[in-house]
């Protein structure tokens, strides 16, 4: 039995399905952790998280288990033992598992008991529930290894404490959401206190399609003391020193390492989520860069700023596509945005294409004629995308997507959207903040990234003379308060009206628009999730739907 352990916490990124790459990254971390007794990696580090229906492919599971065997074999060489997140196929079922690999052998294992099946999670579809886990013995120390959701429910930690666990090491794949840092720490403090055990919470980092992982790993003692706070958004390896306490500490284990990192506050956390998600999506899918319509408005300006910060100005191409309704002010603002960001800027008027469509369809008028402009812009941008390989970045925000204030096969078209889960008021907050602050580690310039006028002028699609968004919508300050309650909190029309002070008729109209626009959202590109109820992964409504909550 030992009274001291050095536990290396490896906050790592992953690539889903890249078994060889993920295994190599773990072995590289093991080399860096020389001198440690044990290396803890995040949940399903070998496969990447979430693997989704890859788990239903037998060949994927077979190769995963082979890769895990090779990792176990690698621990025969000098270096720390490893807690490896992987898949185990046994008895005809697949399990989300952690193996303790030590000295070239599997010295212990735990199978995930609690499978999340809400929001972005769908693990009951692909994994079987493991049995109630028992502590794993390592160097004479009984270690509990609950896996992610196992600590969000009470029974697993309580069982491990009753079974004699002396500490809890928790590998996680916990996506970023607004205010989630506080939620995690409150929950972990509760589990640690009830179990009477110190707890190390290790999370992954990086983007995976629509979700992004912020890391923010930490260690808490059962008295609630936060002794280690690792960084957010970046990989980090931290060697933590643990000792069995003296009589005054109840004889239990304590983490002697102290490390403090200040986590990003709002709105910086949202902005960093967008940057990381876009960077990994574009890079991992092999695009040379992004192209976007740079209209002179705030949505495209912010999208361009995120893209430059994520990828660098040389990989971002802004194209202004003026129609006869585009103002001189917008032309100037688009050009100035590109200059401030240092990215490429071209102007391709769509006037000749609109004239061609007018001659083909002379009777088009009203909204149909307006939407032709948005769709011709999409055709132009996609042509450039096809010719040069850049991914088309869509610039619509959550407020517009909620009420259908967007053109299907027009401004909705593209490969990814960083603003998909950001309400318009959040777009304003992010733009003001980024004009004042350059986040650490981004590739864009310091100083303002868009003209102040872009933020202050009334939003407009400029599809007809003098058009303003508020001709068709309530002020965004009110619209977003209504939408937050209809979408994120699933409140009824009456409840929203009472909470916001808005007229019931207005709220009912917004709800109707929200439900009618479901068919559009089903055809929208993926985009980074930042809130608790994003469209697509979290909120899954039927397209054909006759239920409304307006008063009868």
Task: Note whether 393 and 287 are within 8 A (CB).
Answer: no
Q: Which of 43, 114, 336, 370 is catalytic?
A: 43
Task: Note whether 10 and 169 are within 8 A (CB).
Answer: no
Which contacts of 241-246 are long-range, i.e. CB under 8 A and separated by 24 or more positions?
Answer: 241/4, 241/5, 241/6, 242/4, 242/5, 242/6, 242/7, 242/167, 242/198, 243/3, 243/4, 244/3, 244/4
Q: Which of 41, 114, 148, 337 is catalytic?
A: 148
Q: Is 485 exposed, middle or buried (0-12, 13-18, 19+ CB in 10 A)?
A: buried
Instruction: Spell out where 461-508 has E strands.
Output: none
The CA distances from residue 509 to 304, 401, 535, in Å, are: 33, 15, 20
CA-CA distance, 487 to 58, in Å (whole number)? 38
Task: Note whether 321 and 350 are within 8 A (CB).
Answer: yes
Residue indicated by tokens 């697993």 = 156
How many alpha carbons lie under 13 Å from residue 547 in its C-beta half-sphere? 4
Active site residue 243: no
Length of the chain: 552
Closest CA to 197 of 229, 233, 163: 163
CA-CA distance, 440 to 539, in Å (whole number)? 33
CA-CA distance, 277 to 204, in Å (whole number)? 13
Active site residue 41: no
CA-CA distance, 527 to 513, in Å (whole number)? 21
The CA distances from residue 472 to 168, 324, 460, in Å, are: 54, 21, 10
The CA distances from residue 117 to 113, 151, 538, in Å, are: 13, 15, 11
The CA distances from residue 240 to 6, 217, 256, 490, in Å, are: 6, 12, 7, 43
Active site residue 148: yes
Please report which helix (H) or strand (E) contains residue 426, including its range: helix 424-436
Task: Note whether 421 and 529 are within 8 A (CB).
Answer: yes
CA-CA distance, 420 to 274, in Å (whole number)? 10
Q: Which of 112, 420, 520, 529 is catalytic?
A: 112
Q: Which residues are identified as catalytic?
A: 43, 112, 148
């Amino acid at each position: 039995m030992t009274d001291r352990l050095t536990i290396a916490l490896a906050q790592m990124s992953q690539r889903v399905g890249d078994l060889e790459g993920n295994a190599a990254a773990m072995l590289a971390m093991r080399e860096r952790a020389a001198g440690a007794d044990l290396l803890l990696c995040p949940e399903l580090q070998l496969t990447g998280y979430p693997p989704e229906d890859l788990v239903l492919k037998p060949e994927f599971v077979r190769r995963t288990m082979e890769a895990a065997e090779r990792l176990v074999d690698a621990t025969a060489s000098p270096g720390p033992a490893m807690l490896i997140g992987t898949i185990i196929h046994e008895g005809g079922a697949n399990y989300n598992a952690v193996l303790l690999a030590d000295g070239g052998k599997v010295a212990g294992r735990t199978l995930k008991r609690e499978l999340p099946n809400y929001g972005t999670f769908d693990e009951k579809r692909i994994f079987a529930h493991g049995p109630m886990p028992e502590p794993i013995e390592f160097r004479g120390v009984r270690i509990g290894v609950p896996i992610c959701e196992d600590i969000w429910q009470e029974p697993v930690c309580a069982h491990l404490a009753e079974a004699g666990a002396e500490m809890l090491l928790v590998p996680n794949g916990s996506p970023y959401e607004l205010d989630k840092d506080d939620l995690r720490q409150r929950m972990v403090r509760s589990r640690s206190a009830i179990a009477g055990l110190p707890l190390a919470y290790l999370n992954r980092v990086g983007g995976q399609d629509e979700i992004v992982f912020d890391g923010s790993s930490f260690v808490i003692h059962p008295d609630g003391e936060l002794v280690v706070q690792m960084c957010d958004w970046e990989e980090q390896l931290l060697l933590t020193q643990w000792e069995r306490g003296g009589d005054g500490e109840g004889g239990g284990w304590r983490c002697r390492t102290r490390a403090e990192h200040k986590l990003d506050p709002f709105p910086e956390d949202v902005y960093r989520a967008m940057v990381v998600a876009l960077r990994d999506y574009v890079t991992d899918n092999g695009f040379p860069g992004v192209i976007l319509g740079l209209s002179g408005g705030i949505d495209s300006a912010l999208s361009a700023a995120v893209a430059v910060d994520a990828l660098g100005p040389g990989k971002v191409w802004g194209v202004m596509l003026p129609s006869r309704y585009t103002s001189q002010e917008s032309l100037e603002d688009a050009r100035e945005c590109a200059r401030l960001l240092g990215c490429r800027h071209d102007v391709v008027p769509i006037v000749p294409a609109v004239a061609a469509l007018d001659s083909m369809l002379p009777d088009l008028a009203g909204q149909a004629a307006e939407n032709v402009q948005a769709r011709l812009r999409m055709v132009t941008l996609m042509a450039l995308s096809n010719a040069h390989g850049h991914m088309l970045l869509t610039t619509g925000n959550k407020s517009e997507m909620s009420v259908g204030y967007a053109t299907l096969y027009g401004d909705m078209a593209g490969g990814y959207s960083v603003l998909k889960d950001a309400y318009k008021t959040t777009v304003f907050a992010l733009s003001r903040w980024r004009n004042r602050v350059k986040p650490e580690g981004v590739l864009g310039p310091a100083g303002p990234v868009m003209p102040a006028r872009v933020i202050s002028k009334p939003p407009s699609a400029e599809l007809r003379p003098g058009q303003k968004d508020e001709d068709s919508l309530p002020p965004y300050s009110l619209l977003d308060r209504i939408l937050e309650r209809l979408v994120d909190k699933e409140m009824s029309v009456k409840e929203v009206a009472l909470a916001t002070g808005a007229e019931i008729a207005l709220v009912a109209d917004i709800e109707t628009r929200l439900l009618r626009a479901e068919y559009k959202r089903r055809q929208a590109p993926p985009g980074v999730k930042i809130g608790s109820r994003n469209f697509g992964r979290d909120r899954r409504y039927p397209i054909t739907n006759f239920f409304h909550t307006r008063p009868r």
